[in-house]
Chains A and B, each alone.
Chain A
Amino acid sequence: MGCTASDVVAAIKAVADVVAEHKVELTQLDRAIGDADHGENLNRGFTAVLAALDGATPETPSAVLKTVATTLISKVGGAAGPLYGTAFLRAATATAKSDELDAAAVVAALTAALEGVVARGKAEPGDKTMVDALEPAVRASSAAADDGGDVAAVLRAAADAAASGAEATIPLVARKGRASYLGERSAGHLDPGARSSSLLLRALADVAAR
């Protein structure tokens, strides 16, 4: 059984709730090594996403993802808007032909999202960015799908790997983004982008598990 457009809308609403719950935490993480706006920015973006989805549900999962993308791009300042916007846009493109998303389509969407983030932000694994959460998440989701996992299993694997990947950013010295100006002083802090990526994937996994 795959995810319909309304399933995807429900998942995005869950993401928006999680972003709102963790707004202060994300901004505090960004205060330590950045410009103290990550939680506010993402929350503003997903609040606007909720408003955009409130009127009418787009007809396909891809169309939902595209609405999320364009809203985040136009409403979220800083790096989070372009990066998450590009991620959702690429995911929308990767799923353009599907009326329902199965496990393989979810893996394809996550893979495309990661590729988009890398292309936009030019970050590599180990740079202390959201790539450090997303890259292991994509690998784990792909492995879960290869083992015959369903959408819930694929997203659970992605969320678990993203959580470990985000934790693993703590000792790293940032090489991208505002934190890179801190050099060695960026070590010892959880990267806010990796944390938010991990939270987003956990929210998706929790919805899929229901």
Chain B
Amino acid sequence: MTVGLVIVSHSAKLAEGVAELAGQMAPDVAVRAAGGANGGLGTDFEAVTAAIEAAQSGAGVVVLFDLGSAQMVADMAAESVDGDVRVVDAPLVEGAVAAAVAAQGGGDVSAVAAAAEGGSPEPVAAEDTTTIEVVLTNEIGLHARPAATLARELTGVDATVTVRFGAASADARSVLGLLGLGARGGDTVSVSASGPAAQEALDRVRALAERNFDE
């Protein structure tokens, strides 16, 4: 039972496309699209309500929206149904991918909402940290799919993992944070881990990079 996702857009095609992209990262997550109204552009309260109900397994639903009135419709729909439903103000595409990965990893509704918003679930600890250098040998570097794969790879590993590239750093479980680093193929990033499973985390990251992020 995972947290469900609903993508609300003025455009049916956009909602379906984002749901498709997010769903690719999260085979076990119910990702529903609610786009368009009356056969054209718009947002439809009844369609959004139905999508939320379809995505609700009992674990909660996180709703992402594109523009303005989509938020109002999403808010009203969320208020009209039972269960824990969070409407998050997040970048639609990256937020949906990040939320899907977090839901696939078993995150609760708060963690999935935070992932969509680009938040890191726990603070980065400084002490007892081990650091390795990792060369990105895949062509696109830490782009959306590899970033999501990396975040998923660390699911359930009890360690705080930070990726640094130049002056920037990101939580390795934050897809948005990883994308923000802008690390491309051929770049070298440093990966630091602390916590009980720090070594396992680093081993997994190194192995994943060596497999070209399973691309």
Contact = CB atoms under 8 A, between A and B. Distances in A.
Q: Is the interface of A mostly helix, strand, loop or mixed?
A: helix
Contact of B68 (A37, A44, A73, A178): A178
A61 interface: no
23 contacts: A35-B41, A74-B45, A77-B38, A77-B42, A77-B43, A77-B44, A77-B69, A77-B73, A78-B37, A78-B42, A78-B43, A79-B69, A79-B72, A81-B45, A82-B72, A82-B73, A82-B76, A83-B72, A120-B72, A121-B72, A177-B68, A177-B69, A178-B69
Interface in A161-189: 176-178
A35 B68 CA distance: 12
B67 interface: yes
Contacts of B73: 77, 81-82
A37 B75 contact: no
B158 interface: no
A79 B67 CA distance: 10
Given A44-B38, A73-B45, A79 B76 contact: no
B67 A85 contact: no
Interface in A61-104: 73-74, 77-79, 81-83, 85-86
B133 interface: no
Interface of B: 37-38, 41-46, 67-69, 72-73, 75-76
Contacts of B41: 35
Which residue, A73, A83, A86, has most C-beta atoms of chain B within 10 A?
A: A73
A37 B69 contact: no
A75 to B, nearest CB: 8
Given A73-B76, A77-B37, A120-B75, A82 B69 contact: yes
A167 B44 CA distance: 30
Given A37-B42, A121-B72, 11 more contacts: A41-B42, A77-B69, A79-B68, A79-B72, A82-B72, A82-B73, A82-B75, A82-B76, A85-B76, A177-B68, A178-B69
B121 to A, nearest CB: 28
A120 B46 CA distance: 18
B35 to A, nearest CB: 11
A25 to B, nearest CB: 20
B67 A178 contact: yes
Nearest to A82: B72
B76 A86 contact: yes
A100 to B, nearest CB: 30
B34 to A, nearest CB: 12
